[in-house]
Amino acid sequence: MEINEKFVSKTGTQFLAAAVATLGAFGLGTVAGWTSPALPSLQNGTTLGEVDPAIQSWIGSIAPIGACISGPVAGFLVDRIGRKGCMLSMALPFILGWLLIGFAQSVDMILAGRFITGLCGGSFSLAAPVYISEIAQDSIRGTLGSALQLMINVGVLFTYVVGKYVEWNELAFICASIPAVFLILMIFMPESPRLLVSQGKTYKATKSLRWLRGATITEQVTEELENVKKSVEENTPGSFFMLFRKSIIIPLSISLALMFFQQWNGNNAVIFYTVDIFIDAGSDLDPNISAIIIGAVQVVASIISSILMDKAGRRILLMISGVAMTISLIILGIFFLKKSDPDLGESIGWLPLACLISFIVAFSIGFGPIAWLMQGEILPPNVKGMASALATAFNWLNTFVVTKVFENIKSSIGTEWCFWVFGIAAGLGTIFVYFVVPETKGKSLDEIQEHFNRKSGRNSEQI
């Protein structure tokens, strides 16, 4: 949203709205993190019968299938019932999914609950970035946008800590409280002013903008609202075939590529199976404690990322992230190759934790938050619903593939190859960023679109 920055003096309400919206991301983090403490708990004996590796693999990977389907579902809803309405509509099913897991009397009930929570969590991964990008002023859009990954990481850490002390079903009941709190708080948050303007609801858009900016002078809100109206009028709602226009396919391709590299660096495989990875490593450190350390580091790194996002810029953070992840993953693969060596085994028992910490820090300052942030920034507003749906579905499709093949590759050719494949992908992602991804720091959404118009030959103005 383009804003006359000289009029902006209050940002507290924008931070509040973003914080409430990202409670959905907190819920998504609990979906991702639940399997790590829950799977060992399920293996220790339950009334559900044997939970073999094949079933464990499906318990881990079926949530991303639900999230993949959420792409077109949420993409439709964000334009029809609004960004806020889409998120609110997912809260009750989210609670239901966790209750299915908590009351599960069979593996099928767990799988059904995981699918539903994946669907709802995935919807937040689409709707929240769009909502935040449209309510935030340019100078803090990066900081607020990075809060999505921060809250996902907080959700993961939450499940690691609580999961150490409770059983898998008790953890599910506790996780159900997160969307319940979101539902209560989000009711009081405003809808996106840009969305309201596009629906012809000028009065509501004015109220929303006044609340978000903390503005008391009508002229200030009116000026910004006129800028929004002009932008909306210039970007009339598009059809599916508009996605193939050069001015749209370029940012869409960048978003898809960032989503691909975000997943194929293996972060979700690490998150889903953190405890199992440390068990396989044979480290002297308690696997659950190691997982909690990883989760805590991820949260701290995300906070640092949110501070740096509007200072250092997106490109440099992505490149630092890619290089550091590549090195960490390659070394981790070498550890698993050499761990059976009696001369090295005990002396390098600390290495998996060190490598995973450096990997998590690198992911959390770069590819983790920025892939989602740039989805909200670079996709054109007239096709944002459709394009975001495609990018989100593609992201979660890759999450499913990565979490599913992790167990298969590990059992067939060794854990080291899992990490080497992820390391190669991280390296390729770094090269892609260097040559293709533009800097968006400090630019308005309209300026970003002018950049892609120029790239497609439609406009000579550069970003």
Tokens encoding 116: 């539903």
Largest CA distance in the chain: 74
290: Cα within 13 Å, side-chain hemisphere: 27
Give residue limits of the domains in the chain: 8-189+235-455
Three-class SS state of 46: coil
- Other residues' Cβ atoms within 10 Å of the Cβ of residue 192: 25
**Alpha-carbon radius of gyration of the chain:** 22
CA distance 335 to 178: 38
- Other residues' Cβ atoms within 10 Å of the Cβ of residue 92: 13
Res. 463 pLDDT band, cuts 50 70 90: very low
Per-residue pLDDT tens for 393-424? Answer: 898 899 888 877 777 777 777 778 888 999 99
CA distance 114 to 101: 7
Per-residue b or e along 56-86, where b marks 16 or more CB atoms closer than 10 Å to that residue's CB: bbbbbbbbbbbbbbbbbbbbebbbeebbbbb
Q: Is residue 4's pLDDT more than 60?
A: no
Highest mean pLDDT range out of 82-96, 119-133, 200-214, 360-374?
A: 82-96
Q: Name the residue among 363, 365, 391 with its Cα closest to residue 377.
A: 391
Q: Is residue 440's pLDDT more than 60?
A: yes
**Residues 6 or more apart from 102 whose CB is under 8 A from it?**
113, 169, 170, 172, 173, 176
Q: In terms of residues, how long is the chain?
A: 463
Contact 59, 118 (CB under 8 A): no
Q: Name the residue among 196, 224, 197, 199 with its Cα closest to residue 210.
A: 224
Per-residue pLDDT tens for 44-90? Answer: 766 676 777 778 888 888 998 998 888 788 888 888 898 999 999 99
Q: Is the pTM of this model over 0.85?
A: no
The third-level CATH classification (topology) of the domain covering 8-189+235-455 is Growth Hormone; Chain: A; (1.20.1250)
